[in-house]
Structure formats: C-alpha cells, structure tokens
Homo-oligomer: A and B are copies of this chain.
Amino acid sequence: MRLAELSRRSGVSTATIKYYLREGLLPPGRQVAATSAEYDEEHLRRLRLVRAMIQVGKVPVATVREVLAHADDDSLGRTIRLGAALWALPQVPEPDQDDEYVQTARLEVTKLLDQLGWENAKQLTTLSPAYRSLVVAVAAFRRLGYDWGAELLVPYAELVHRIAVLDLDAMEQYASEAERVEFAVLGAILNEPVLQALHRMAQEEESARRYGFA
C-alpha cells in the first residue's frame, strides 16, 4: 500500500507517519519510484504499536526507539527479549530512602517469592523494575503503620499469576515472534488500565452484593 492508504487504515496522518519514519520508529517502505514507497501489513502493525506507546502510554520518542530495538533483537531469548522491551518502558521511581521500612519490605517480598515458589522471579530481582516497585509499595504501607507482608500478599499473588497465564496464552496466539513481543508491549500499556478499571468495578459489585445500595 502507498503512504495515503497506510494513513487511512491506521488513522495516523501522513505528516506523523513521515515523522516516525525520519525518527526511525518505522522501517522505511520499499522504494517503488523516486518519490513513492510501498508499505505492507508489518508497517501497519508497527505503526499501531508506536501510536499506542506515544499517544496512550505517553512514552517519549527516544524510549519508544529503545523499546523497539529490544523487541527486534532476535539474538535474545524470549523472556529476556520481552523483559528488555517492557523494562525500557517508563517505570515508577526508585525508593528515595533506603530506611528500615524499605529493608523490611525487601525481606517480606523475598519471603513472599519463597512461599509462592517463584524461583525465576527471585533470579530476576536485580534486573526487574517490578520487584523494586513492589518493595516501594510494601514499604509505603509499612511506613504508615500497616503490617503488610508476605502472608497477606500470597492469595493476591496467586490470583495475579492466573491473570499472567491468561496474558501469555493470549500472546501465544500470534504466529511470529515480532508480533508476540509487540502484543506484550501493547499489553503493558493498555491492559493495566483495563485491569485497574475492572478491579474497581468488581469492588463496587461485591460491595453492593454484601451491603446493598442503602
């Protein structure tokens, strides 16, 4: 397809597509004449991903380039390739203080991973931003005087593990490795708002079932 059709099918203006091409976020089309190039379904798919990261995820252009470089690096195994792409996305900030609460939180998260038997996640703690986010969040609870720790988190972790199984099953429906990594990146940006909204609606439903509306 030509640029005009790529624009029509993606809903992205030709000016924006040209900008993405210049920035290297989209691979060049196949040159068919001095002033026109031919694009295919892969361009369309990549364009949708770039737009999702920039418009929905508010990811900076330089970060998009980094995420895509990891996603396209087929010298990496799938777990690290997925991880590298996802870890390049903007993350929660590091703990600004390494106080007793952060230290206790780190111990509690380790205890949690042991109780769950998440041996792989344990090996990823030095790399994974998710591990650091969890420590920060548990420390925030503890700093407020709430006794949150491994015991309370186990049933939550078991349920989110079942959600992760659904995520990976959905990803595996895609035929190519490139599509699978793109789906994972898109999921990280779009799926979390879906889950958060569903969770709040479920709380409202459950609250009304238990206590009524009165």
Residues on A facing B (Cβ under 8 Å) = 10-11, 44, 48, 51-52, 56, 77-80, 82-83, 86, 92, 118, 120-121, 123-124, 128-131, 133-134, 136-138, 140-141, 143-146, 148, 152-153, 155-157, 159-168, 170, 186, 188, 190, 192-214
Contacts and interface: CB of A to CB of B under 8 A. Distances in A.
Of residues A11, A153, A200, which shows the largest number of chain B Cβ atoms within 10 Å of its Cβ?
A200
13 contacts: A48-B144, A48-B145, A78-B211, A118-B205, A121-B205, A124-B208, A128-B201, A134-B201, A137-B194, A144-B190, A152-B170, A153-B194, A164-B203
A194 B134 contact: yes
A144 B79 contact: no
B206 A165 contact: yes
A159 B168 contact: no
Of residues A83, A129, A156, which shows the largest number of chain B Cβ atoms within 10 Å of its Cβ?
A156
Contacts of A204: 79, 83, 120-121, 124, 128, 130
Contact of A214 (B77, B86, B157, B193): B77
B160 A166 contact: no
Contacts of A168: 203, 206-207, 210
Contact of A133 (B56, B118, B164, B196): B196
A37 to B, nearest CB: 21
A50 to B, nearest CB: 10
Contact of A77 (B143, B166, B206, B211): B211
A133 B206 contact: no
Given A198-B156, A202-B163, A79 B193 contact: no
A79 B134 contact: no
A10 B145 CA distance: 8
Given A77-B214, A193-B92, A194-B134, A205 B164 contact: yes
